[in-house]
Structure 1
Amino acid sequence: MTQNILARSNVVAEGTATTRDEAIREAGALLVDSGAVRPDYIDSMFEREASVSTYMGNLLAIPHGTNEAKESILRSSLSLVRYPQPIDWNGKPVRFAVGIAGLNNEHLEILSKVAIVFSDTDEVQKLLDAGSADEIFQLLEEVNEA
């Protein structure tokens, strides 16, 4: 798998979005700005959300593009945005939007690593309590390990 799928620059401790669509755009923009995806990948993130909710539980949503958007992915990458207040994600509270782009089906491995962290309520609490983006990055750095 591609090394360092989560860069420190793709971690935001204080997201500005207040709606689901703004959060998708915010997580997607980090992927675009880091050179991992083309701008049209964000459109496919909205298409995916329209077909199936990317809400995962434990305050987490994982917006990602459709299978048809593979040509818009330049390299595998993650973005994470934490929100100070819960965002309404189709009636579910979200404090973390994790954008994912995966080359060659790497998104499945990436998804499983993120799911492991967020399935542990103690780990989620550590992420909520983290005082900075640097602390959040350190808590999630294990997703970069092969």
Structure 2
Amino acid sequence: MGLTLSEFLPYRLNCLSEAMSQEIKPIYRDHFGLNRPEWRVLVALADLGTATAKDVGAHSAQHKTRISRAVRALEQRRWLTRESDPKDRRSEMLTLTAAGHRAYCDLVGPMRAQEAGILDRLSPEDRAALGTALSALENALGLSVAQPPE
């Protein structure tokens, strides 16, 4: 029994994920000047509130190196602040600034509209089946949307 990439579920899901990312990329890149790790950190902090880089990494399924670079870039824009974690001096607490919250709010509408445009290409039945299948896979792998893999 061989392995054909085009029939291998992890490969197919990766290709779909990349295609979806390419569809939304013009929004965060062209309109906001962000790269993929930066917009994910921005949205993760909007979801989490104040959090450590480790928390952001777990929430956004990103490697710590990418998060570190994204944090620096967002800090330079004055979209987030860092403060020492009083419980652990080796860690920093990250928080969106007012400007960071505004950027996040400006990003949400276009991102949701692009997502809706992609989903509109599916029939209502296929959208429902997709949601069911994704939930089933997440459950089978012990994942939840709130806790992506590290």
More strand by share: 1
Q: What range is the shorter-chain TM-score in?
A: under 0.3
TM-score of the aligned structures, taking structure 2 as reference length: 0.25
More helix by share: 2
TM-score of the aligned structures, taking structure 1 as reference length: 0.25
Which structure has the larger Rg over C-alpha atoms?
A: 2
